Chain A
């Protein structure tokens, strides 16, 4: 191309237009960096003055965003964008390269296999070392479960106590009342936590064989959900149901905390209660089954 062709004129025209747009971007990038600088100064001042979460967040936004916007705009509008083409090199090795690799590898293999007894001995000692050193990393971490999942701190005669450790008296709850209770000496225990409910003043029999478990209308169930172990914390007096707020299992209080809705598979274990001569509530015995979610060994 030579001489004053229309094409060249257009090109020159384009150049000057481009220059104008470049200047615009230069200005934007400059403003962006300057804003960032000012915000950073501000950030320092705010920090120096004792800090304020929202202002810090806003100033960090401007400080980091100014740098980010400036660099991106610079890299996008003020440097060549191509597009350029690059050939992909062949990823795969050639046939002969692979053969050469196998050859080298085999040569080494042969050198080792020449003393195969030593190699086997080495393998045995490394394997033994690996297995034995694994034990501290797994076995030392905790005790074997053994009977851990089967027992709680509830025993024959355990007095029921509130979370502050005071004993529960038979006059403590009105009808519709509810209380989280623990065996005496274990207030706050995660495993023994039970929920004491008083749906009426009369003795309640929830299931056959539980004739004496609900004296004077008091019922106690394990508070650990049989689904995933959350505390079954919400008592709905109107429907006589206990609700687990984690996954919405519902248990029917009057029929032995049978699950009536949701994912819980089993009733909450019931604690057999008695009222001693002074009117305090006690457990006749511990739970007659493991509390909480299922596990492999549980039949």
Chain B
């Protein structure tokens, strides 16, 4: 191998020292840690497909006569934004795939952020020292929602135009400054002709730049603080147990980018989304039936539908009704979200740093609050379909509206109560989440085999190796120890665990056993090559007592 380039860079930047450390960095491995990755990869796809779209999209609300390959709209007077969106969908090769991938990626992006946030919440990963990253992540979610709204507003179709009209009304409703804000944002009264170009600049430049910066900070902080891990054998507050950055983690994460991209490509090519040619261009006095925003705005739309027609007037001023569901509610939502690490601390009085994650059942109160809040927003989300539900089930709109107005207060506490009960129950079941009991096979002197349950399970030992730096130099040899006997440990300071299943127990132990056999074997759960096993690297399958005793609290 030729190391010339490495030398060249190192002589100028001195990179070898710290990049070597990065190559050997250990990442805990669990499926739930990949949710944030899905979000990040969707962001990359959004950037790539978005750049493509900017080459063809014309951000202008000026009128033009459409002449293009979509015959039903031929000869219609539409805005340049709408016409160019039709063109890039139908007349640019691969244009529709790119546009639909962009839209799908936006939906998946925000969904992945939300699920990632739920994972972080329910496992308590936001606790000290990770409050800053909780704030950064919350900001990213807010920006992503805003960015998504701006994006689907750009084509100037009938549905998104109606959405912009509602956004104008919401801006207008802000006390004291609302009418000024609305006028400054829209360059005058709605609709004006500056909003599409302005939304465009904010959508492709301002917010993506901010998000890229925040995403960088989010990752850098995570890298610096090292990732959290679930409780499990050998895992403590002071260590990280997992796979090495190079090559295992890098390959899995890099490959996962391609997998995310491939799913988004399949959606973009095969599943139609936002067919603006069916909606028609935005005409301010027209409106279509069943107007609904993209999914991540659903809770706001639902809140707008459910909130009563209360409007506060007095002292020559007015607080319009939309202020409460569309400004106050999101403000309180994100305010409480960002304050949560400190709110929880008021009750727990817990100021310790945590690197081991909670299982949701370990903390019934947090879990039940999370489930209750989630239920609240899900009811609001479904409330954004009141008209569709009324039509589908042929009940009156009146009934559906009042049902939701009641459910939005009833379902959250019920869901929270059920979650609390389940968490407490699960916590009190001795075997919940514990590994299966070990089956120990013994051979007698006569050669007779007997099988018995062994509880506690035969002590698992670590294979110790003298290590230099973060990982032993000899990792490849000791990484696969399927079916290998445990050796006596030498006293290296660092050590690596042996492989994923242990087939035999130390010879010394044999003599102590009443069976007097010549060997005690644990049934290898993960037979060689089958993966998994007693000390599976993939999950919190270890007994609680062990991990608790090893926590250095």
Give A residues with C-beta under 8 Å from B.
1, 5-8, 10-11, 13-14, 17-18, 20-21, 47, 50-51, 53-58, 60-65, 67-77, 79-88, 91, 138-139, 141-145, 148-149, 163, 180, 182, 188-191, 193, 223, 227-231, 233-234, 245-249, 259, 261-266, 292-299
Contact = CB atoms under 8 A, between A and B. Distances in A.
Nearest to B249: A75
Given A68-B261, A142-B183, A261-B397, A51 B93 contact: yes
Given A74-B251, A245-B290, A299-B316, A228 B529 contact: no
Given A76-B252, A190-B191, A245 B291 contact: yes
B373 interface: no
B259 A65 contact: yes
Interface residues of B, number: 129
Given A91-B129, A231-B285, A299 B318 contact: yes
Given A51-B93, A142-B185, A71 B285 contact: no
Contacts of B500: 81
Ranked nearest first, the 10 interchain pairs of A and B with the lowest CB-CB distance are: A57-B269, A75-B251, A80-B479, A68-B258, A71-B255, A294-B320, A14-B483, A21-B529, A190-B284, A65-B262
Contacts of A79: 247-248, 251
Contacts of B529: 17-18, 20-21
A247 B321 CA distance: 13
A57 B503 contact: no
B175 A86 contact: no
14 contacts: A11-B484, A61-B265, A71-B258, A75-B249, A82-B243, A86-B25, A138-B184, A142-B194, A145-B179, A227-B322, A233-B287, A293-B169, A296-B175, A299-B318
A151 B333 CA distance: 36
Contact of A145 (B180, B234, B284, B485): B180
Contacts of A138: 184
Given A79-B247, A248-B387, A294-B321, A229 B190 contact: yes
A17 B484 CA distance: 13
B285 A83 contact: no
The listed residue with most B CB atoms (<10 A of its CB), out of A77, A189, A190, is: A190
A244 to B, nearest CB: 8
Given A75-B255, A85-B497, A248-B387, A14 B165 contact: no
A294 B291 contact: no
B239 A87 contact: yes
A6 B521 CA distance: 11
Contact of B166 (A87, A229, A266): A229
B270 A247 contact: no
B257 A68 contact: yes
B184 A80 contact: no
Contact of A262 (B169, B182, B305): B305
Interface stretch (B4-12, B410-418, B469-477): B469-477
Contact of B179 (A57, A189, A297): A297
B487 interface: yes
A60 B262 contact: yes
Contacts of A163: 285
B258 A231 contact: no
B551 interface: no
A83 B94 contact: no
A2 to B, nearest CB: 12
Given A142-B183, A148-B189, A294-B173, A190 B483 contact: no
Contacts of A263: 304-309, 321
A77 B255 CA distance: 13
A13 B305 contact: no
B94 A245 contact: no
A295 B174 CA distance: 7
Contacts of B255: 67-75
A68 B262 contact: yes
Contacts of B78: none
Contact of B519 (A6, A58, A189): A6
B477 to A, nearest CB: 9
B178 interface: yes
B482 to A, nearest CB: 5
Contact of A293 (B238, B269, B316, B320): B320
B348 interface: no
Interface in B158-211: 162, 165-166, 168-170, 172-180, 182-191, 194
Contact of A296 (B179, B244, B475, B482): B179
B548 interface: no
Contacts of B307: 263
Given A17-B528, A79-B247, A296-B176, 17 more contacts: A14-B482, A18-B528, A56-B269, A57-B266, A60-B265, A60-B266, A75-B248, A82-B242, A84-B241, A85-B496, A85-B497, A88-B238, A141-B187, A142-B185, A188-B284, A264-B309, A296-B319
B309 to A, nearest CB: 4
Contact of A188 (B241, B285, B301): B285
A57 B79 CA distance: 29
Nearest to A64: B262
Contact of B284 (A20, A193, A262, A297): A193
B453 interface: no
B386 interface: yes
Given A18-B482, A227-B321, A294-B320, A265 B291 contact: no
A10 B309 contact: no
A67 B265 CA distance: 14
Nearest to B462: A85
The listed residue with most A CB atoms (<10 A of its CB), out of B26, B290, B308, B353, is: B26
Nearest to B170: A228
Contact of B286 (A233, A246, A249, A296): A233
A31 to B, nearest CB: 15
B441 interface: no
B344 interface: no
B313 interface: yes
Contact of B485 (A1, A63, A76, A77): A1
Contact of A228 (B234, B304, B519, B530): B304
Contact of B190 (A72, A190, A233): A190
B430 interface: no
Contacts of A262: 305, 309, 401
B495 interface: yes
Contacts of B100: 53, 57
A264 B311 CA distance: 9
A233 B239 CA distance: 63
Interface in B265-314: 265-270, 283-291, 301, 304-311, 313
Contacts of A248: 305, 386-387, 397, 401
Contacts of A231: 162, 284-287
A90 B496 CA distance: 20
